[in-house]
């Protein structure tokens, strides 16, 4: 591979002709948005902005937002648009977002999508968003959600069924005991799916209608899905 055609990011070489710009990862709970966002961070060198992670950070720090969000998240419902938009607005002001970012879990309602579209349209320069929807069937999602565990230190995500750690219950990278998210139970999953169908599925249709949109099959090995996303984004950016 010639160095003129490629960018090297944290040990991985990838062909990259255009800056990725803002990327939206859409899809039901458990499709692997977080896992794919982490792969794409390595490939593109732009940050992952996960609204779920930002909200959990607020809950852990017991901020005013965290206190409001905690119960709502515990029920599997959506945190009010105004609070989430404000949190995203603050994050997008940080300088690491200049060449693009991967929004993971946002927008989740048409109101959030309208807010984001308006904000991006108001910027003097910058690429338009590319939206990627990851597809996985319901039974597979349930298995992924109830099997999901993550390392509270390095944030690596495992799955007891499809991507288990080498030693049960312990992170391969730093030996920390793995934890399960409070909302990754079957009952809360059902509520999260209801909220996805009612509020987030229309967001997928909104971005499909705008054109810069790709759908990828999320029921494949992690690296294969990431490669599919990179190919789709490069095609849509041409």
Q: Is 140 helix (H, G, I), strand (E, B) or coil?
A: helix
Q: How many helices (H) and strands (E) does the chain have?
A: 9, 9
Which residue is it, tokens 């099959």? 217
Based on CB atoms, which residue is closest to ligand AMP, 82 or 137? 82
Based on the shown chain and the rule CB under 6 A, indicate whether residue 29 belongs to the binding site for ligand AMP: yes
Establish whether 237 is a catalytic residue. Answer: no
- In angstroms, the Cα distances linking 86 to 49, 79, 93, 94, 198 are 13, 12, 11, 14, 23
Q: DSSP alpha helices (H): ranges in the chain?
A: 33-44, 51-61, 64-74, 81-92, 110-121, 138-147, 186-195, 201-210, 222-237
Work out the number of other CB atoms within 10 angstroms of the CB of residue 153: 12
- Cα end-to-end span (Å), the chain: 21
Task: Report the nearest approach of ligand AMP to the CB of residue 229 (Å).
Answer: 17
Write the binding mask 53 to 72 for ligand AMP: x where contact by CB under 6 A, - elsewhere.
Answer: --x----------------x
Task: Report the nearest approach of ligand AMP to the CB of residue 187 (Å).
Answer: 13
Establish whether 148 is a catalytic residue. Answer: yes
Based on the shown chain and the rule CB under 6 A, indicate whether residue 73 belongs to the binding site for ligand AMP: yes
Establish whether 67 is a catalytic residue. Answer: no
Q: Provide the β-strand partners of residue 81.
A: none
Establish whether 33 is a catalytic residue. Answer: yes
Based on CB atoms, which residue is closest to ligand AMP, 14 or 151? 151
Q: What share of the chain is helix, strand, coil (3-state, %, to 5)?
A: 50, 20, 35
Task: Please tell me which residue in 38, 56, 91, 108 is annotated as part of the active site.
Answer: 108
List the interface residues with ligand AMP, window 140-199 (CB under 6 A).
183, 192
Considering only residues 40, 43, 59, 79, which one is a binding residue for ligand AMP as defined by CB under 6 A? 79
Give yes or no for a contact between 79 and 87, defined as CB atoms under 8 angstroms apart.
Answer: no
Establish whether 192 is a catalytic residue. Answer: yes
List the interface residues with ligand AMP, window 104-123 (CB under 6 A).
105-106, 108, 112
What residues act catalytically?
33, 108, 148, 181, 192
What residue ranges bind ligand AMP (CB under 6 A)? Answer: 29, 51-52, 55, 72-73, 76-79, 84, 105-106, 108, 112, 183, 192
């Amino acid at each position: 591979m010639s160095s003129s055609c490629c960018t090297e990011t944290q040990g991985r070489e990838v062909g990259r002709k255009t800056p990725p710009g803002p990327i939206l990862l859409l899809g039901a709970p458990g499709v692997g948005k977080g896992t794919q966002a982490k792969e794409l961070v390595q490939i593109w060198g732009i940050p992952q902005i996960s609204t779920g992670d930002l909200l959990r950070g607020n809950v852990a720090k017991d901020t005013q937002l965290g206190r409001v969000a905690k119960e709502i998240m515990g029920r599997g419902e959506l945190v009010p648009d105004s609070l989430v938009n404000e949190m995203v607005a603050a994050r997008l002001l940080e300088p690491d977002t200049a060449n693009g970012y991967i929004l993971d879990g946002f927008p989740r309602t048409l109101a959030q999508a309208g807010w984001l579209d308006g904000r991006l349209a108001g910027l003097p320069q910058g690429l338009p968003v590319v939206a990627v929807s990851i597809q996985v069937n319901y039974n597979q999602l349930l298995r992924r959600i109830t099997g999901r565990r993550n390392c509270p230190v390095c944030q690596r995500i495992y799955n007891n069924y499809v991507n288990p750690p080498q030693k049960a219950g312990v992170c391969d990278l730093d030996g920390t005991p793995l934890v399960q998210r409070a909302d990754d139970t079957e009952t809360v999953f059902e509520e999260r799916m209801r909220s996805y169908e009612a509020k987030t599925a229309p967001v997928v249709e909104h971005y499909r209608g705008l054109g810069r949109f790709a759908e990828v099959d999320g029921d494949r090995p992690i690296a294969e899905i990431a490669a599919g996303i990179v190919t789709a984004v490069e095609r849509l950016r041409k």
